[in-house]
Amino acid sequence: MHLESLNFAPGISGVRLFGRLDVAGAGEIETQLLAATVAKGQPAVIDMTGVDFIASMGIGALIAVSKGLALRQCRLALYGPQPMVRVVLDNAGLGKVMSVCDTPEEALSRVRA
């Protein structure tokens, strides 16, 4: 699992995730993910197109980002999850605490609203 920072728009943090967001993967990137999003104190968008598997630890990492941003009155949006990852996100109810979108444009509009 790895991540890279993206420049979506001024005042919005962006991250692209690659790999399996399971126990090992989440452990590898959680600190970097929090630093690239929450620590910046601005809305964030996460590109999930490169994530081919997500487990409870990965969901926990995303919730930690969402909660950290909410404390700073900022929003989080994910976009582009692969179909199997989308099913897990939907079943976990993540749409209640963050936006799960199909496109980067939709994600940007959700964090700006």
The beta-carbon contacts of 62-66 under 8 Å, at least 24 apart in sequence, are 62/94, 62/98, 63/94, 63/97, 64/30, 64/34, 64/38, 65/33, 65/34, 65/37, 65/38, 66/97, 66/98
pLDDT of residue 41: 94
Full set of structural domains in the chain with CATH: 2-112 (3.30.750.24)
**Using alpha carbons only, how large is the chain's radius of gyration in Å?**
12
**Max Cα separation, the chain?**
34
**DSSP alpha helices (H): ranges in 37-75?**
56-71
Q: Which residues of the chain have pLDDT under 50?
A: none
SS3 labels along 86-99:
HHHHHHCCHHHCCE
Amino acid 9 reads A
